[in-house]
Amino acid sequence: MTRFLVRRISLIVVTLLVVSTAIFAITEILPGDVAQMVMGQGATEQNLKHIRETLGLDRPAPVRYLDWIGGVVRGDMGDSFVQKIPVTQVIAPRLANSLILAGFAFLVAVPSAVAIGVWMGVRQGSKTDHAVSVGSLVAISLPEFVTGVLLIIVFSSFLGWLPSSSAILPGTSPLTRPLILVLPTLTLTGVLFAYIMRMTRANVIEVLNTQYVRTAVLKGLPMRRVLLRHVVPNAMLPTISVIAVNMGWMLGGLIIVENVFAYPGLGQLLLTAINTRDVPLLQTLALIIAGTYALSNLVADLSYGALDPRIRLT
């Protein structure tokens, strides 16, 4: 176990290093820089040079990168080029908003997907099963910006039940207006639900055909007990890794959903950071996203190890 953790955590550190180098390199290659973005097209060469000097952009790229990494190691993520305040201060409220949205989506999608997946697995081949299968395929195929817009058309424009924009005043929490969370949550849930539901259904079908389930049935156990004690725990094992992968994947969905609904979260911030070449902000956001991916996979492996007695993490 120690061995496993040592190996995995060192790998995560390496991954984050590679990600940060890659992001840094890409911002170097892209045309335009933060000075140009801040000053606009009319800026004089003098002005640009001044800004580059104050931000330290006149130094060679490797020096700037090492300088930044040095800061990260000391816990200093740097200042935003554009907003001139520490990156952490820019990110903190946005991170909270995104976590709220992602948390809701997760809480809605996972339990319902697992429950319906088990039910469809047991009722394999029935009309309901076919209907749900087709529905989930549609949900997987539609990108978030389509589902999001469809939901807006139906629930805000047509029915007028829910607000179409989820924008909130800076400094206020989305929890004060829970209604604005409904549509973004539903949009995010769609794909997540479909994936987990299909995975659960497939695993339940597989486990139902195992010999140990036959043993349980021939012990004379009632079907409900066979399902709860023998089928579901075993069917959940592979599903857990799907859930974990989806957690990382959901971050990608967040970026789109937040922009569709004008919701002030990390996704929106990321887009701004890219447009303004705000490298310190961009780097930090990239690290958060990559770190979430890596950690969710680690959590998946650890929970797998905890739930399946056959797995020993070494």
The residues of the shown chain that bind another protein, judged by CB under 8 A, are 2-3, 6-7, 10, 210-212, 214-222, 225, 229-230, 233-234, 237, 307-310, 314
Nearer to another protein, 188 or 208 (CB): 208
> Closest approach of Cβ 230 to another protein, in Å?
5
Helix, strand or coil, per DSSP, at residue 86: strand
Nearer to another protein, 99 or 213 (CB): 213
**Cβ(170)–Cβ(269) below 8 Å:** no
> Closest approach of Cβ 127 to another protein, in Å?
19
Phi, psi of 64, rounded to the nearest 5 degrees: -60, -40
Nearer to another protein, 89 or 215 (CB): 215
Helix, strand or coil, per DSSP, at residue 79: strand
Nearer to another protein, 9 or 26 (CB): 9
Nearer to another protein, 171 or 222 (CB): 222
User: What's the sign of the alpha-carbon dihedral 17, 20, 23, 28?
Assistant: negative
Which H helix or E strand runs over 287? helix 279-307
DSSP for residue 222: -
Nearer to another protein, 161 or 212 (CB): 212
Contacts of 112 (CB under 8 A, 6+ apart): 193
> Closest approach of Cβ 91 to another protein, in Å?
33
DSSP string, 65-76: HHHHHHHHHTT-
> Closest approach of Cβ 217 to another protein, in Å?
7
> Closest approach of Cβ 311 to another protein, in Å?
10
> Closest approach of Cβ 198 to another protein, in Å?
22
**Cβ(134)–Cβ(197) below 8 Å:** no
End-to-end CA distance of the chain, in Å? 6
